């Protein structure tokens, strides 16, 4: 049992963290007997996640909670299937919960919605800033969506950053402002992330950042107002 608890699902990043890449990254995090799934990818059948657990010979029943960084379909696509089949509680920030469970209509333009049908899922746990989920602290970083969060492990200096900060070609960046509810807030949220003690960043898109996080984030904070807020 002890060896099973230490096994990683997905490509190992650092001790306890596995990455399941796809259109959006999903991660597994294991500490002691607790296993969390952070984001669920695009596929409504959660295929890549189911495959990753199968490849590791890990029963999916080991997942104790599913944590969403925000409601976008490339992150919550597989949630409905997993909640239905595993009966795992799904957690996300209270501001994004109505989009995840379908109480609020998806504001995505119709044309995009035709390609990215959202499958809603019941939210068992509505999170707020400062909440703890096992060893992880919820930090509200609104802007990309109203309820975007990052999950911070203060002791291990690990950050699951969702789409609040992503990686592209060795740099940190943010998704295009066309996808953001409030680009101004998204830029402000970078300063909130800068206050956190982070060595390993696990982004929703791009590859994990395991060194130089602080200078890379400082560079983004410097560029962000021009890149994301300048208006013609
Ligand atoms: Zn997003
Ligand atoms: Zn995304």
Task: Provide the CATH number for the domain around residue 46.
Answer: 3.60.15.10
Above 80 in pLDDT, residue 224?
A: yes
Residue 76 included in any domain = yes
Count: domains in the chain: 1
Ligand 2 midpoint to CA 164 (Å): 9
- Give the pLDDT band (50/70/90) at residue 119: confident
**39-50 residue pLDDT tens:** 999 888 899 999
Ligand 1 midpoint to CA 89 (Å): 21
Residue 163 included in any domain = yes
Above 90 in pLDDT, residue 150?
A: yes
- Which domain, by its residues, includes 61? 2-227
Ligand 2 midpoint to CA 76 (Å): 10
Question: Which residues neighbour ligand 2 (ion) by CB within 5 Å?
Answer: 24, 74, 163, 204
**By CB neighbour count within 10 A (0-12 exposed, 13-18 middle, 19+ buried), where does 116 fall?**
middle
Residue 40 included in any domain = yes
Q: What is the pLDDT of residue 177?
A: 83
Q: What is the mean pLDDT of residues 124-139?
A: 98
Q: Which ligand is nearest to the CA of 166?
A: 2
Q: What is the pLDDT of residue 3?
A: 46
Ligand 2 midpoint to CA 177 (Å): 12
Residue 232 included in any domain = no
Residue 117 included in any domain = yes
Above 80 in pLDDT, residue 116?
A: no
**Whole-number Å distance between alpha carbons of 205 and 7:** 24
Ligand 1 midpoint to CA 57 (Å): 30
State the average pLDDT for the chain.
92
Q: Which helix (H) or strand (E) holds 191?
A: helix 183-194
Residue 6's SS3 state is helix
What percentage of the chain reaches a pLDDT higher than 90?
82
Ligand 2 midpoint to CA 207 (Å): 13
Residue 109 included in any domain = yes
Q: What is the mean pLDDT of residues 47-63?
A: 94
Position with higher pLDDT, 107 vs 217: 217
What percentage of the chain reaches a pLDDT higher than 70?
92
* pTM recorded for the entire structure: 0.94
Ligand 1 midpoint to CA 72 (Å): 5
């Amino acid at each position: 049992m002890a060896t099973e608890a230490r096994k990683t699902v997905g490509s190992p990043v650092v001790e306890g963290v596995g990455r399941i890449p796809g259109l959006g990254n999903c991660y597994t995090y294991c500490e002691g007997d607790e296993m969390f799934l952070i984001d669920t990818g695009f596929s409504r059948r959660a295929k890549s996640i189911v495959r990753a657990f199968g490849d590791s010979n890990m029963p999916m029943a080991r997942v104790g909670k599913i944590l969403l960084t925000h409601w976008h379909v490339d992150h919550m696509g597989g949630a409905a299937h997993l909640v239905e089949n595993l009966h795992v509680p799904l957690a996300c920030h209270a501001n994004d919960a109505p989009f995840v469970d379908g109480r609020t209509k998806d504001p995505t333009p119709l044309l995009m919605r035709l390609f990215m049908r959202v499958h809603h899922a019941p939210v068992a746990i509505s999170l707020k800033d400062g909440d703890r989920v096992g060893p992880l602290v919820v930090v509200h970083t609104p802007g990309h969506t109203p309820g975007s969060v990052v999950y911070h492990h203060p002791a291990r200096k690990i950050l699951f950053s969702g789409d609040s900060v992503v990686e592209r070609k060795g740099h940190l960046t943010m998704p295009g402002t066309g996808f953001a509810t409030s680009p101004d807030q998204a830029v402000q949220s970078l300063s909130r992330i800068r206050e956190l003690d982070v060595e390993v960043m696990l982004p929703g898109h791009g590859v994990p950042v395991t060194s130089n996080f602080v200078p890379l984030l400082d560079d983004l904070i410097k560029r962000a107002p021009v890149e994301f807020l300048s208006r013609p």
